[in-house]
A and B are shown apart, each in its own frame.
Chain A
Amino acid sequence: MKRFGMVLALVSSLAASSPALAALQVDVNQGNIQPLPIAIPDFVAASPADVAAGQNIANVVRADLERSGLFKPLDPKSYIEKVTNINVVPNFANWRIITAQGLVTGTAAAQPDGRLRVDFRLWDVYGESQMLGLQYFTLPANWRRIAHMISDAIYQRITGEKGYFDTRVVFISESGPPLSRKKRLAVMDEDGANPIFLTGGNYLVLTPRFNPTAQMIAYMSYITGKPAVYLFDLEGGRQEKLGDFPNMTFSPRFSPDGNKVVMSLEQGGNSDIYVMDLRTRSAKRLTFDPAIDTSPSYSPDGSQITFESDRSGSQQVYVMNADGSNQHRISFGQGRNGTPVWSPRGDLIAFSKQAEGFHIWVMRPDGSGERALSNGWEDEGPTWAPNGRVLMFTRTIQGGRGSQIWSVDVTGRNERRVATPGDASDPAWSPLIQ
């Protein structure tokens, strides 16, 4: 009875407190995750000579945004209005009818000095206002990069997240029969365009990684027969062995400031993690465990390093301070967990989990919130887009039918294959190109 009284008191106190609730209020805690319908007509050509550029740029922007899974570029055939002048406010009703919520209008105009000028505006079709307007000058040959920059600008304005379209991916291109597989270092634009082979395939190369300016690649090479970490300068095309270690070095990765490379050094069957300062070329040992410690990756602020170790008896993910102190295990889920990579956003660590198959997972840096992102036959070796929103990884096809590069959104949605020339593995995503 006492309790009943208490409940009654609660009810009446609630009732008394609800005058403020009189106005209608709707708590919307569920939604329908769907890509934003956006219209991107071909960019208006200032002269007949600019028609191709205008079409090409619009094509690349449409493809970029579509690939992200967050936009649905509408079929240009459905457009009612033909944009002829981007400096006039569009007739928004004509775009609402075809369900567009965003509209991108742009122009391409060759300049007397030989450069190409590209302008674009992003419109909020419902709000009937301009959300963004930008202008670029470039050499006509660079039109593709301009298109990616426009995609990045639109992506950032709509999602709040920096874009990742003006980036490159370094990877291992694979060709030839399984027993004499040719593995070449290759680099391409994020959308698969402009693939270039950096090494010839006479020796094995593995685990390439970009530095923060995307000008240099650290990777492991068997060029001398003995595997070691090398640096490849994309500008000059030079490669250089990193440090003069008597034993095998592998699994390199740059620090966020680009001044250091952290990697594994093998000695008598034991691998430990070392960091090498690129300016002084001095190396410092960070782990001293008799187990195999490898696959180090810096946190975006450079203060911590995540790595894998089998010191507990099976391969697991650990975190330590950048000076090697405070080493502690963070993965306690099922299976073996390795190749951790810290998100550029800092909020997550992606890793490969082996438990009923190989899949890409993420967890918070404290080890909580483990969840799966990919669901292939054998998925390994994640790499983050510079915005920490998308990952690429290697997918090995069941039955030894080669390997491919796939990408997936950090939400686990939008899993899709990345275009590569032939088989490919071990992707590493560059930072945004500067």
Chain B
Amino acid sequence: MKHRYALLALSALSPLTALAGPITEAEKQPLNLHAIGMFFVFVLGTLMITWWAARQTRSTSDFYTAGGGISGFQNGLAIAGDYMSAATLLGLSSLVFAKGYDGFVYTIGFFVGWPVITFLMAERLRNLGRFTFADIVSYRLDQTKIRTFAAFGSLTVVCCYLIVQMVGAGQLIKLLFGLDYQIAVVVVGILMLVYVIFGGMIATTWVQIIKAVLLLAGGTTLALMAMSQFGFSLETLAAKAVEVHRSGWNIMGPGSMLADPINAASLSLGLLFGIAGLPHILMRFFTVPNAKEARKSVFYATGFIGFFFLVVMVLGYSAIVIVGTDPQFFVGGDIKGALIGGGNMVAMHLAKAVGGNLFLGFLSAVAFATILAVVSGLALAGASAISHDLYATVIKKGQATEQQEMRVTRIATVGLGIIAICLGILFEKQNVAFLVGLTFGVAASTNFPVLILAMYWKGLTTRGALYGGFSGLICALTLVILSPAVWVTVLGHEKAIFPYDHPALFSMPLAFLVIMLVSHLDRSPRATLERAAYEDQFVRAQTGLGAAAASSH
């Protein structure tokens, strides 16, 4: 149980991951016309934006970074949108519903990474990067080797995450909309292709912004409607929740979920630093005109995320009273039994209980929109790693024209889309929970250490980055394979060799150690030049002098 809830909690940032497991057994529901109608309106609106965005997208800079023309506030919403997923709403509210205060403890863990990104990373990312995070890492290191490595790291994260999204999407849509799994996966894949190929970053960002607004509005409305049943008094809510919950008074304080501190520490380390290694999040820092807007965007994003998390807490506690005592939401009407649709449907049931079928339809459409927005960002991040890092820099040695690079990006997007659809269908019956551990493990132990040391440590050399990065990658991969999620659940062994679900506590320090050791021992002439080049990079990181400017139109 503990593992399952840890995964469920992790889903806060990894949209729909947790849903992938528990929902698998869910039955297809009758066609939900409200939901489909509202989703249709969303798709129509976003396709119009894509059409408009396509006319604005002329250069590679427009395509990858919306020409750097997104304002801090807009980008803040988009970042928040990348982070607040359908699963934040569903996974975390369900966690509070089941476990009470422990859910709150996890939520805070998902939040504190953002202030740290603001203080240490936002302005340096913007000042040093242009299209991908590899720009920053390869600033003073060997372009060919480092970009190959960074593209490899990005694509590993993007592909794992895409599969998780696709499987989650298929299951959730089957449940909420009553569509077939395969149809759901194909629809998500095709819409994603249309947004990215025609509208690039401009369309992807606006889809994300619209979805973030819908999710914030939907969540807040739901919380207000729920609270109105308690006279808007938290005291009344708490008293009723304690009265009806099977754990009673225990739901108001920390409980058993943190019984395994090492697993909890590894999870929170992976979360905290994994975000700072996710290519589709990092990419967002290049869409604003300068470091000032980059900082503002994390400030707004952090505010929206914090607010939304507090709203979700209210939803979880309200659901204990409103959903938890209503037999219509339980299998066979037994309130001691299982919830209809699995443990993650708490927020959806709450929507139905306080707002009826129409509101349930609205929230379902928002959940669908959320998946679309996130997969589009992922596809764009993957495509830019292929075209900008691998094709333009490694293969063409910087000699590719913009037209050639754009063509490769679009082909790469189609390729990623087809892969995502195929793997999504292939993995339908699989438990993909292990891919979450892998995504965050790789992001925190491969991309993050190399990126942060490239920005902050003069001594970093190409050799150190490669050895350390690959050690982190291999260690994370091995530990995930030996973890309960793969060794027991997928491979069917009795006992896991590595007892924790998340590798970050072990693989991330290893990566740092190897990078620093190998860099330190690196006596090659190239290494001396690389260390010397740090001074100039440092001036640019601090002042923004020479940073990529916004394109004018």
Q: Are A and B physically bound partners?
A: no
Q: Residues on B close to A: CB < 8 A?
A: none
